[in-house]
Amino acid sequence: MKKICVFLTVLFAVVSLSAENGGRIVYSAVGLLPVKYLELPGPDADVRIMRLNLIAGCHKSMYGLDLAVLGGWTRGDSAGILLSGGYNVCLGECYGLQLASVNFTEGAHCGLQIGAVNMTWGLRGMQIGAVNATSDGAGWQIGLYNMAESFSGIQLGLINMNIGSPLMMMPLLNVWF
């Protein structure tokens, strides 16, 4: 317990603010809940290097390592490694690894999503999970149910749907380039 308290104290002390393009950049952040007064700094900050969400956290953007017990929410872009026991949500574009039970990227996701459910509007990379969905993309989908509107790549799973290909639905393997 003492080591955890020392770690959190040092982490709070490392939090530094500076200005870039009129916004706040924070080099580490600690969040208890995605509530304005339970996060250091507040949800309008751009976080660089590391964000530790003791339960869940929400910030404007996240670049670096994002660790969460329940979940991490980013209202803008994110890049790096996003690890959570529950969910990772990125409302902008995401670059890197998302690892959680549920991963959602509203913009394009370039990299790897691993979880029970993975969703993105545009995939450039790989999704590994029970349910994988993308509107368009290129790469790999590995899971029980893989769905895409327009996908160039390999789908490996029990049910594979690629609406933009001549073989819209294939069991086990669907390849379209």
Q: Tell me, what's the pLDDT at 24?
A: 61
Q: Who contacts 57 (Cβ-Cβ below 8 Å, separation ≥6)?
A: 29, 31, 33, 34, 39, 51, 66, 68, 71, 72, 73
Q: What is the pTM of this model?
A: 0.79
Contact 20, 33 (CB under 8 A): no
The count of other CB atoms within 10 Å of the CB of residue 45 is: 21
pLDDT of residue 91 exceeding 70, the answer is yes
Domain boundaries, the chain: 1-115, 124-177
pLDDT of residue 124 exceeding 90, the answer is yes
Phi and psi at 5, nearest 5°, equal: -65, -40
Q: What is the pLDDT of residues 33-57, one digit of tens each?
A: 555 456 666 667 777 888 887 787 7
Q: Tell me, what's the pLDDT at 82?
A: 92
Q: Name the residue with higher pLDDT: 37 or 107.
A: 107
